[in-house]
Amino acid sequence: MPADLSAIDKAKFVAALRAVDHVESGMKLGLGTGSTAAWMVRCLAERIRDEGLRVVGVPTSIRTAELAQSLGVPITTLDEAGWLDLTIDGADEFDPELNLIKGGGAALLREKIVATASDQMIVIADAAKQVAQLGAFPLPVEVIPFGWKATQAQIEEMLVSMDVLARDVRLRRAGDDPVLTDQSNYILDLHLRRIGNPRQLSLVLNQIPGVVENGLFIDICDKVVIGHGDGRVQVRDVNSSEIEEEYVEFKPTDNIFADLDE
């Protein structure tokens, strides 16, 4: 990997490197989307190259598919794979019960479909993503473009009866234009500051016409691998109160990470 990385990138790298240790030959994998997941795809590609690891991946976005293909990671579709052994993905937030907010990269729909079609989901994250209660990160909600303002109004009305601290709903834009997902939908970001009952909110959101899916991942994540800038890695399992901790050594090498120096 590159020698000159920021502390946050080192944290993402060691988390990705540790998570990829869970991958075994013959597995069908869900490949997440986002900056941390990109580290995972690179670590996976290195194992394929150096160890002859035999896997096939189902990407959760077009950009993950393009990265995987460029690095020699075999990919397929979820329909072809049928069912997955493991999904490795990032998260925007996770709480003590390993509930997540995802969708900062606008791939939440595919990410949730892939994660729930897997025997296990491992989340990789830097320590800043750990929160006592979800909601500081805006909650993404994917909606169809037709009548999106009416959908937004119904979401705002529904939030009045929810246990949240704020109720600011905004259309995500790239400049003047709405951000489009890979399904050509829009994203509404719900700035709630605190979500008192994530399970209830998730269920109610998905009952609103026009809502395709929301970024609350409840009872989906099995394990979180938390990276730190000093190379320390903590592993938390949803079924255990114990936290594993170790240090991951990494050295500068001339390999598939070299382009990250550019």
User: Binding-site residues, please?
Assistant: 33-36, 89-92, 102-105, 129
Take residue 199 and report the two structure tokens written for it.
């399970």
SS3 state of residue 146? coil
Q: Compute the distance between CA of residue 30 and CA of residue 112 in angstroms, rounded to an integer.
A: 10
The catalytically annotated residue of 46, 93, 111, 142 is 111
Q: In whole angstroms, how far apart are CA 163 and each of 46, 135, 194, 195, 197?
A: 45, 11, 8, 6, 6
Residue where the block lists tokens 């959760």 = 60
Task: Please give the annotated binding residues for substrate, written as ranges.
Answer: 33-36, 89-92, 102-105, 129
Q: In whole angstroms, how far apart are CA 183 and each of 110, 143, 179, 191?
A: 9, 10, 11, 23
Cβ density class 182-219: b for 16+ within 10 Å, e for less? beebbbbbbbbeebeebeebbebbeebebbbbbbbbbe
Residues 6+ apart with CB under 8 A from 18: 124, 225, 227, 233, 235, 246, 248
Q: Are 149 and 182 in contact (CB under 8 A)?
A: no
- For residue 262, indicate whether it is catalytic: no
Helix (H) or strand (E) holding 178: strand 177-178
Catalytic residue ranges: 111
